[in-house]
Structure 1
């Protein structure tokens, strides 16, 4: 597509790249260097000294002021008419760029290349070498070379953007960075089938972060170009220029999987903390997985080669990255802590917002480095939310993040607790918001699918949390409250089996032998004994660290399971045999139970015999307690009857005393009637006592 790619970018002649200018009155054969000083090869003595840093240029006024507006103004506006020295320490590009500009002013041939064009363009702007002074001045020449040669070339755009790192803010103000970034973005988004220019490839199964064995690869018609062909070249850029390129690529519509893979590739190269512990390899496994998912079905293979080589090593606690090619001088950059912090913050800001933009392992390693380097809390929180979105993809090794604060625990358990909360919140948000976008007819099916997906994710997270608890439980400084809160954070439906949780509890009991009985019961309360497997129940039945009540619950739940299993198997056998009565369901139960026990391993039979013996002992104790309770109940009933009998006797004695008092009253009333008898009629004296006696009788 661009024919200029067929030549070498190091020292190629672009036809119009050789600039020769005829000067009137002064001809120079060239420049010669003597130590830190440059001299013009001419018989006319110099009358102007230009000092740039430690380098000095012995030149003439007329060739310079005729093409440089800045030097013209300095010379003529100076109050010293015999000005013969100018200091330009702030000239962009340094002595190298001024040397080329001076040669251009003297008419010496200047070779424009991708390595010197950015510095020369900024120097020309600084010296004000515009068309107002002379037609075809240096600004016009360098701008034309940038527009028509550099921006049409893949490698030249990369090299120019790399060289702009030392030219801030001039390169930004002159739009060199923007134009190169957009040129790189356009070519990165091109169809790989149409690529005919050279690029730096890498081995797909490389296990070392040293890329100095690569060779330049020029794709041919037989070799297919992989979709990630541009990763290696873009990764040599500084982080701010890399962000500019990725931002431009996003605008062009690149798939987020590719953008995420390029970010992971860049992070694995520039951040030593993203290298796997003890192995020394970057995150090529995750990058390779995304690469395979992107190029699935196309049969693309990774082309090997070398050009701009990158080597990574450790020196003095800082990562040293060497970038360059065989033709160019190698440049060494030391990534210090502040630079790593800036890289992490920049990478977090450009990660695609989609769920699977980057791997969860990459995010967790990035989070670990962010905590070490004290990255902005807002960005750390954003990164934690990103991890929570795909927490089910995490690995145990990535979750074992050391505690870098003043906490007493070995691992950062609070961080994992926050990640789990973000995961549950994200699951709840997705479940509540997704059906609203569906029609009424499709909503039930969508809700069912959403529930299945959410249950699978929660099950994976539950297994991950149980494994994490098993590891951190060995820390003697881990409090029971933190362990319990993390274990109970997931809903009960997330765990179909509590074997992993039982292992974590057992590990905690081993590491904390001084727990009280109440604390052990509180710890075991997070586990459901009915969700334990047979192996876990056998281990728990013989575990002396567990409370006795938990052991009884385990044995009882296991007995229920075995009874249900035997009953189910018997019912199936009876149904297949066509049995219709209830007796046929229970008659073969004994034989099937014997068969089931005979088919079990010897260790299980011995363990079950011990468990059955304990159950019989508990049953005997329970029967004795029932007998004592029955005796106490009988004694209580006897006492109740005696109490009722005594109550009746007291009531009878009270009635008898009452009747005695009434009889006394009756006698007294009789005496009174006899005293007043003569005053009343005779019939009344006779009838009144009789009526009273009748009523009493």
Structure 2
């Protein structure tokens, strides 16, 4: 295998078939001159650098120079401007030396620029066998691509050669070479890499017994520009590397290039032997080829973060989001939340932000409270972005519901990473962890005076009731909200307290609530009633055995004594009001009965007055007599003297009629 120690730092190439003898090139100021007795006849301008050259050596190997000079209307053209030449003046200097037959050393630092310049100048085999394109291609194929270090260096040097390096497949070939070596078995690695423990001897290769960590390639790949890093990671994915290693490499890269992601991330800052993003053209190499390794790139570490501007950071964040593997937990939830924080701050494309939010929702139960406290960058309504956490919670619930409804889905099927392959807990346990997380988040955001009651209530009620076995966390959040918003009305305080259930409060929470004067009186009564019911149930269960419930107070008297004096006074006043209302109700009932009796008497009198008044004395007396007779007849039938009574009855009216007549 070719490596930096297997060949000279520069492979010299030269040719002396141009018939022009020269002792080399020398520079005076911004101008280059050929050491020869023949005066120059063409001037080549590249930027602020001027080359005083001869036509014949250039025309014999550069087809582009032939076309420019002979197809020009001015046959005596003696000046060319090649500002668009890839590689700039440095690459053209090497190409010109090659045309003059001067030995040129090919190295990993100059090969990409020289290859692109040769393509630009059209230095093909049609003009001369063994031209510059052929020689640079051979060096790339047989030397660079077989070396881990040189592949990294060449790919790094291609940053300023777009689109030539892309069109010539230099980026693709170097990316695949790096990917192939990164996926190789670490036991067989023989090349140098950053972070390798230095051997005590002067041997360039590591000892055979040394263990190579699986992340040995992270630091070397992290010096690449983001688009080239994406190309390498994509090639590594195709070759089947474990997704957890790919995720770890992405975390390492993001922590190095984005200072905001370095919190809590391993290897966030480059080591003394690490590489910076300084240009390869400015890199200095220590020692000879035997030293090898990317740690020989020298640059100032402080240049690393300061060169990354907002636009570049946005591109890095967008690219990292797009290459994160689809497997769950390939990167930590903490890293995803920090990446989401930066995405909102840099105003990344909404589609990528939504995708990142879904990824966070997939593993939301592993989030921490500090990572959730994301500032609100878009509006100044609240200090923290509560709407974002609401969306994350919704994504989590949707994910849990879809997994719970799918009979073939195993939540722990793809969770084998840094935890040693431990299995994911049940959906209920995940919801419980999320519930504790949300309760802690509500406690923090409740201190914001601009936090609306509606947002607080919606976020608190987003989780199902089964997610919380205890509402102590919700009680703390409610109490914090009441402290920060002392101007709430009685109705708003009651509405706020509806988010928690008094039956789910622990003993300590009940004791605190019973003495909390910020709570509505009704809520305190519910807390005390709930505790009293627990006491009653505990006493009832105690008859059949030992009760597992331990009431917070032994009896009702102690329970009442533990309440604030203001609540006791309120209860006394309320009791007096209730007794007064009861007395008034009884009085109203008595008055109602009297009025009802009077109404019945008046009704009877009214019925009497409604009878006809124009009746004669004869008619009135006759009716009375008939009534009296009927009464006597009925009494006679009951005593068994029906006959005697009947005769008497017949005689009496006859005598009465006779006397009247």
- Shorter-chain TM-score: what band? 0.7 to 0.9
Displacement of 1:343 after TM fit? 0.9
1:247–1:652 CA distance, 2 compared to 1 (3 A): same
Q: Contact conserved, 1:309 with 1:324, CA < 8 A, in 2?
A: no
Query: Higher Cα Rg: structure 1 or 2?
Result: 2
1:612–1:391 CA distance, 2 compared to 1 (3 A): same
The counterpart of 1:67, out of the listed 52, 61, 67, is 61
Q: Contact conserved, 1:200 with 1:305, CA < 8 A, in 2?
A: no
1:563 & 1:41 partners in 2: Cα distance? 110
1:658–1:22 CA distance, 2 compared to 1 (3 A): closer
Name the SS for the 2:50 alignment partner: strand
Tell me if 1:275 matches 2:262: yes
1:217 & 1:462 partners in 2: Cα distance? 56
1:424 & 1:324 partners in 2: Cα distance? 54
1:283–1:216 CA distance, 2 compared to 1 (3 A): farther
Tell me if 1:391 matches 2:390: no
Tell me if 1:167 matches 2:161: yes
Q: Which residue is 2:235 aligned to?
A: 248
Displacement of 1:32 after TM fit? 1.7
**1:243-263 CA deviation, whole Å, 9 max, x = no partner?**
111111111112221111111
1:323 & 1:473 partners in 2: Cα distance? 53
Tell me if 1:310 matches 2:271: no
**1:90-122 CA deviation, whole Å, 9 max, x = no partner?**
111111111111111122211111111101100
2:434 & 2:467 partners in 1: Cα distance? 8
TM-score (norm 1): 0.76
**1:198-241 CA deviation, whole Å, 9 max, x = no partner?**
111289xxxxxxxxxxx999543222111111111111000111
Matches within 5 A, 1:536-575: 536-568=509-541, 571-573=544-546
The counterpart of 2:354, out of the listed 375, 378, 381, is 381
Q: Contact conserved, 1:264 with 1:358, CA < 8 A, in 2?
A: yes
2:259 & 2:190 partners in 1: Cα distance? 34
The counterpart of 1:94, out of the listed 88, 91, 96, is 88
1:86 & 1:61 partners in 2: Cα distance? 11
Q: Could you list the runs of 5+ residues in structure 1 that have no partner in the other structure?
A: 204-214, 277-281, 289-303, 313-321, 439-449, 576-588, 672-686, 691-697
Q: Could you list the runs of 5+ residues in structure 2 that have no partner in the other structure?
A: 287-295, 411-422, 624-649, 654-661
1:138 & 1:386 partners in 2: Cα distance? 50
Q: Which residue is 1:518 aligned to?
A: 491
Q: Which residue is 1:355 aligned to?
A: 328
Tell me if 1:12 matches 2:9: yes
Name the SS for the 1:201 alignment partner: coil
**1:441-470 CA deviation, whole Å, 9 max, x = no partner?**
xxxxxxxxx997221111111111111111
Matches within 5 A, 1:76-155: 76-155=70-149
Matches within 5 A, 1:560-639: 560-568=533-541, 571-573=544-546, 609-611=561-563
Question: What is the aligned residue count?
Answer: 593
The counterpart of 1:489, out of the listed 454, 462, 470, is 462
Q: Which residue is 2:475 aligned to?
A: 502
The counterpart of 2:184, out of the listed 183, 190, 207, is 190
Displacement of 1:497 after TM fit? 1.1
2:488 & 2:439 partners in 1: Cα distance? 21
The counterpart of 1:469, out of the listed 439, 442, 459, is 442
Displacement of 1:564 after TM fit? 3.3
Q: Which residue is 2:407 aligned to?
A: 435
**1:10-46 CA deviation, whole Å, 9 max, x = no partner?**
x624xxx321213242222322222222222222222
**1:69-104 CA deviation, whole Å, 9 max, x = no partner?**
111222222333332222111111111111111111
Displacement of 1:357 after TM fit? 2.1
Tell me if 1:414 matches 2:357: no
Displacement of 1:135 after TM fit? 0.8
Matches within 5 A, 1:647-666: 649=601
Displacement of 1:630 after TM fit? 6.8
Q: Contact conserved, 1:474 with 1:507, CA < 8 A, in 2?
A: yes
The counterpart of 1:258, out of the listed 245, 254, 258, is 245
Q: Contact conserved, 1:216 with 1:306, CA < 8 A, in 2?
A: no
Q: Which residue is 1:22 aligned to?
A: 16
Q: Note the aligned Cα RMSD (angstroms).
A: 3.8
Name the SS for the 2:426 alignment partner: helix
1:663 & 1:412 partners in 2: Cα distance? 97
**1:179-208 CA deviation, whole Å, 9 max, x = no partner?**
1111111111111122111111289xxxxx
Tell me if 1:236 matches 2:233: no
Q: Contact conserved, 2:382 with 2:451, CA < 8 A, in 1?
A: yes
1:475 & 1:92 partners in 2: Cα distance? 57
Displacement of 1:479 after TM fit? 1.7
1:509–1:26 CA distance, 2 compared to 1 (3 A): same
2:348 & 2:246 partners in 1: Cα distance? 23
2:46 & 2:557 partners in 1: Cα distance? 92
Matches within 5 A, 1:275-294: 275-276=262-263, 283-284=265-266
The counterpart of 2:619, out of the listed 667, 670, 678, is 667
* Greater displacement, 644-653 / 110-119: 644-653
Q: Which residue is 1:339 aligned to?
A: 312
Displacement of 1:565 after TM fit? 4.0
TM-score (norm 2): 0.80
2:251 & 2:450 partners in 1: Cα distance? 35
Name the SS for the 1:199 alignment partner: coil
